[in-house]
Amino acid sequence: MESVLASFFEKLPESCGPIYNERSLQLELACLFRAQGAQVEFERPFVIAPLEGSTCPVKSNLDLLIRNNGQTTAIELKVPLNGRHPETLYDFCNDIAFVEGILRAGHADTGFCVMLTSDRVFWSDSGRGSAIHNLFRRKGSLLNGAIQKPTGAANTTVFVCGKYYPADRWVAVRDTRLMGDEAKYLAIEIKP
């Protein structure tokens, strides 16, 4: 699955249009997976119990559930283009916890959380950062355990079980048809 995602961002299928939001990425990826013979479910509802100590509201709909060759993959997507940097990063951590929960419950064999953006603030240090920014900007930073909401009503926490290094995973999108000249994607594989 990781190689399919990488090939999509490396060289788009000719039929693929530009990505303007999360929904367009969801649809284009679904077209790609279906063209390869996969079954695709959109916005698949799940009831997943949060980990003890997590106070972040639990998500309930998965962006894509892919079934192919006896393997089920849960995929959550983010396409941030309008700021909200720390909030989006926190939401991405919540996506990871949600996909981990889907795997713990046995609803999927593997999962991915994918972020696509042309906003360099997500991967590049502007000198104004925070602990959550650093997880996604400083290579070698470990995303694991309790993640505190960075802004607003900052009294919520999400717990992530796995060990992830998001700052090490940003990859340049080579096909400018997707999102212009400067875009990167981050694909975090979630394993049971």
Neighbours of 39 (CB within 10 A): 11
Three-state secondary structure call for residue 103: helix
Kind plus residue range of the DSSP H or E element containing 134 = helix 131-137
Distance, CA of 120 to CA of 61 (rounded, Å): 28
Q: Quickly state the pLDDT bin for 154 (edges 50, 70, 90).
A: low
pLDDT digits (tens, 9 = 90+) for 138-149: 999 999 999 988
| pLDDT at residue 77 is higher than 90 | yes
pLDDT surpassing 70 at residue 153: no
Percentage of the chain with pLDDT > 70?
97
What average pLDDT does the chain have?
Answer: 90
pLDDT of residue 38: 95
